[in-house]
Chain A
Amino acid sequence: MAEYIPEIHQAVLPGGMRLLGVEYDRVPWLSLTFMAKRGAEADPPAKGGVADWTAEFLTLGTRKRTQLQLATDIEARGAALSARGGWDATLVSLEGLAEDLPELMATLAEVVQTPAFPAEEFPLLQDRRAAELAHLLDDPRELANRRFTRLFFGDAAYGHPVTGDLETLEAIGLEDLKKFYHREFTPGDSTLVVVGMAPFARMQEEAGKLWGGWQGGGPASAPYTQAPERLCSPGVYLLDRPDLTQSEIRLGHLGLPRSHPDYFPLRLVNYILGEGGFSSRLMTRIRSDLGCTYGIRSTFHFRRAPGPFVISTFTPGAQTALVVKEIKAVVQEVMENGITEQELAEAQSYYVGHFPLGLETPRHLGSRVVSMDLYNLGWDYLRRYRERIQEVTLSAAQEAARKHLQPDALVALVVGPAAQCAKDLEGLGPLEMIS
């Protein structure tokens, strides 16, 4: 068998920033990611979206090049620059052909270190974002995701969509982006990840030249690690959309931070509950037995602070209450009676067997390395991953299910035609209409 688990090379650059490199020889590709380890959770209050807007703004002009010059030069190399705010981190990525390594590395450094914050670009960004956000309301899935985030976390740090909301759009000014940049982009809390067809010595040499003198800003915000004290009360919430034929359904409760010791048992339990496609209990019940949906999935969003646990699906309007009820019953069943030995063994062999696929491309590798660094998973994480999956016992998995699935705490959001589903939903308990 080929040795497919790569070595992760490390160096600390003169300015204090960490460099992580992976040599990749299958195709002549280069994937560069700059990560500032603060993201949308560090957005100022009532200004959700600042991290994400800041990231995009960096691509709109540097001290040397305008937006058009930058885009033209990058795309002339067949490369792509992208920048986004996420939870816990803000990422600026540049991917292209390995033959262009010096230019691509220099361009990423230029974008991150010397943004011009051109004032004339700001109203254009505002207009684009306003249009995009308005348009998103036409997509029921997106609307449900965004509304659930807001409903569930309220004013807490994870309580807004990372790209912001129409309601808060006007509140954000160019100064907010500059402040975010000058506070959160600092070498001590940033990492450069390079995956590509080049020896690490070369990556290090280029990075040293380009980043060694970068002072950055800071000090970065204190990392957000604690769950909020108040969350949305359990119950059913309905956002009426009479024009829809189906309901989008989200059910969730608070999950765990990425650092929680039950991470592996709970991943396995959740695979069995709702992440394992046709192997999952939710898919079996709601799709295969009842034919009520095309797809259903449950996800624990493991972040620096506890993220949400969310079950997502959709169903024709008239079946909404049935589906909500059945989902709760499945969660209750797994919480109370646990999983079987065979289910656990199959979930384990899925993750073990599937593991190499997640290391196939430079992009896959880059995102693995980014999360290893962001969440301090240890540099032996990839080598020990399969062992950690396999060492989970049935009793540990049962215990994780009992402790971390909370059917009584579920907040259910329905975005759908009230005329077809409100009456039945009332039969499930108190129903609150929201706008």
Chain B
Amino acid sequence: MTLAPKLDPAVWQPEIEIIPYRLDNGLQLFVLPDHRVPMVSLQLHYHVGSRFELQGITGISHLFEHLMFRGSETLGPEEFSRILQAKGGEINAFTTRDHTSYFENLPAEHLELGLQLEADRLANLKLNDENFQTERQVVISERKLRSVDSPFGLVLEQLFAGAFTQHPYQWPVIGWDQDLKRMSLRECLSYYQTYYHPGNLTVVVAGDAEPDAARDLVDRYLGKLPSPGPPRPLIVQEPPQRGERRAVLKKVSQVEALFAGFHIVGMDHPDIYPLSLLAIILSGGKSSRFYQEFVRPGRAVEMEAEIAPPPWTSEDPDLMVMTAIAAPGQPLPQLEEDLWAALARLQKDGAQPGELARAQKLLRAQAARGLSQNFYRGLLVGLFHLKTGDAGRVNQLLKLYEAVTLEDVQRVAQQYLREDNRTVVTLKPVSPEESQALGEMV
């Protein structure tokens, strides 16, 4: 059967067309034209996240993300969202350790409105005490939801707090409760002035837009705003870990669990590719080692080796996190021993060729699926630029994964999954009475 070329997988080109522009004030723009649906994803990635915070103001990046929706000199609280949503837009934002990203997935004809409103809140944000107090309460509630009352939120916080002694990845993006309560509007203003300007901003327009026209629009609204230049680069290194660290957290829980974090690399390091494949070999899918050994026979509710693959990998070296949730009645110490044994086997014998091929094809498939969305295409380009300075690398991703060998996988397993390089936090279930006797959870 002869296929219409557009419906023939063999002729598909995975490359993203990337048109870069740099405006006079330092703003970096990428336009990724694609006209399949009449929508654009407008993304503003500010290079600031919890990594740029200090003790005492942890959580300020995320709180600030909330404040960006609280109005400008001309718009009331949340009016930004209302106006764009009324045009069919999907509006949201997220804060990570490395960046704060705002996005609008909009009908293409409203790109200009999106830019106009983004420029307005960048230049004329209304920061007053009333907005600040309301949003602080919202964030405190969000912290209780995500960290305190969630099954493993506090355990994960303790894991990162233990694994990082000097690097700011030691605190959670949402911030410590104490800091959220004591933070001032003044500190937010100072943060805004330092990090919210075109010199610290990457803009992406992905979708149904003509590159030069999009550039002109971005220039019209964001090109005239002043910039003090990029903030001073933050260079901070976590010293190598010299021995296992362990902690216990007691809370009301139906299950015992263990979280282990191994220091690995950041996004700019080539080992991120074999490490991503290693994580899939261990626990990706129902043919994986962990699923077959632990989950399928009902020993563990969950047994995962997690790594944030590019473009979600953090800028600085992160942790690979192993999660072991014991099934009720299954002893956690035995599960832990068997987990380390599973890692030791991989270190000693390496992976099978079939396992690596499977992991590589899985990543290729995920990449193909992701490229069906303007939003994801935009994130890939924007975040690669922001974290590595090399947006073009997104078009090398498949090759980078395909180049990984069995030797690479075994080497990274040996190099990173070492006892001395890990931090382990176990969750020990207690009764509600015991939990209360241990003091308030915050």
Mark A residues whose CB is within 8 Å of B.
1-2, 4, 23, 25-29, 59, 67-68, 71-72, 74-80, 95-99, 124, 126-128, 130-132, 134-135, 137-140, 197-199, 201-202, 242-246, 276-279, 283-284, 287-288, 291-294, 314-316, 345-347, 349-357, 359-363
Contact = CB atoms under 8 A, between A and B. Distances in A.
A77 B325 CA distance: 29
B301 A131 contact: yes
A5 to B, nearest CB: 10
Nearest to B140: A316
B432 interface: yes
A76 B360 CA distance: 9
Interface in B337-365: 354, 357-358, 361-365
The 4 A-B residue pairs whose C-beta atoms are closest, nearest first, are A353-B88, A127-B298, A78-B365, A28-B9
Contacts of B9: 28, 97-99, 197
A137 to B, nearest CB: 5
Contacts of A68: 287, 292
A202 B2 CA distance: 10
Given A27-B369, A353-B107, 6 more contacts: A138-B255, A246-B141, A246-B148, A284-B78, A292-B137, A346-B85
B17 interface: no
A431 B284 CA distance: 47
A291 B145 contact: no
B245 to A, nearest CB: 25
A46 to B, nearest CB: 23
Interface stretch (B34-42, B163-171, B209-217, B382-390): B34-42
Contacts of B112: none
A246 B145 contact: yes
A80 B88 CA distance: 32
Contacts of A134: 254-255, 301, 327-328
Contacts of A128: 295-296, 298, 301, 327
Nearest to A4: B37
A273 B36 CA distance: 33
17 contacts: A77-B361, A95-B369, A98-B9, A198-B7, A243-B432, A243-B435, A246-B149, A278-B69, A278-B81, A279-B85, A292-B137, A294-B142, A352-B88, A354-B89, A356-B107, A357-B88, A357-B90
Nearest to A287: B138
Nearest to A59: B286
* Most A CB within 10 A of own CB, among B85, B134, B251, B291: B85
Nearest to A317: B144
A288 B297 CA distance: 48
B236 interface: no
Nearest to A5: B37
Contact of B368 (A80, A97, A201): A97
B336 interface: no
Interface string B68-107: 0100000001100110011111110000000000000111
B81 to A, nearest CB: 4
Interface stretch (B22-30, B44-52, B371-379, B411-419): B371-379
Contacts of B77: 288
A1 B38 contact: yes
Interface in B1-38: 1, 3-4, 6-10, 12, 14, 35-38
A197 B7 contact: yes
B39 A356 contact: yes
Contacts of A246: 141, 144-145, 148-149
Nearest to B146: A294
A360 B87 contact: no
Contacts of A287: 138
B243 interface: no
B118 interface: no
Contacts of A244: 149
B231 interface: no
Contacts of B136: 291
Given A127-B327, A279-B85, A80 B285 contact: yes
B133 interface: yes
A126 B441 CA distance: 34
A353 B110 contact: yes
A135 B301 contact: yes
B86 A349 contact: yes
Given A139-B150, A246-B144, A360-B374, A201 B1 contact: yes
B440 to A, nearest CB: 8
Contact of A349 (B87, B302, B435): B87
B128 interface: no
Contact of B82 (A98, A346, A356): A346
Interface of B: 1, 3-4, 6-10, 12, 14, 35-39, 69, 77-78, 81-82, 85-91, 105-107, 110, 133-142, 144-145, 148-151, 208, 251-255, 284-288, 291-292, 295-298, 300-302, 325, 327-328, 354, 357-358, 361-366, 368-369, 371-374, 432, 435-436, 441
Contact of A197 (B12, B140, B441): B12
Contacts of B328: 130-131, 134
Contacts of B292: 68
Contacts of A347: 86
Given A75-B286, A197-B7, A359-B37, A278 B82 contact: yes
B81 A279 contact: yes
B301 A97 contact: no
A59 B286 CA distance: 10
Contacts of B137: 291-292
A52 to B, nearest CB: 16
* Most B CB within 10 A of own CB, among A75, A98, A128, A345: A75
A124 B141 contact: no
B195 to A, nearest CB: 23
A340 to B, nearest CB: 13
A26 to B, nearest CB: 5
B151 A138 contact: yes
Given A199-B7, A350-B86, A2 B255 contact: no
Contacts of B302: 135
B86 A135 contact: no
Given A99-B10, A315-B141, A67 B81 contact: no
Given A23-B7, A78-B361, A246-B141, A131 B149 contact: no
Contacts of B285: 71, 75, 80
B298 A202 contact: no
Contacts of A284: 78
Nearest to B9: A28
A24 to B, nearest CB: 8
Contacts of B148: 245-246
Contacts of A4: 36-38
Nearest to B429: A138
Contacts of B369: 27, 29, 95, 361-363
Contacts of B85: 276-279, 346, 350
Contact of B254 (A72, A135, A288): A135
A349 B106 CA distance: 12
Nearest to A72: B287
Contacts of B88: 349-355, 357
B192 to A, nearest CB: 21
A111 to B, nearest CB: 13
Nearest to A125: B298
B413 to A, nearest CB: 20
Nearest to A131: B327
Contacts of B81: 277-279
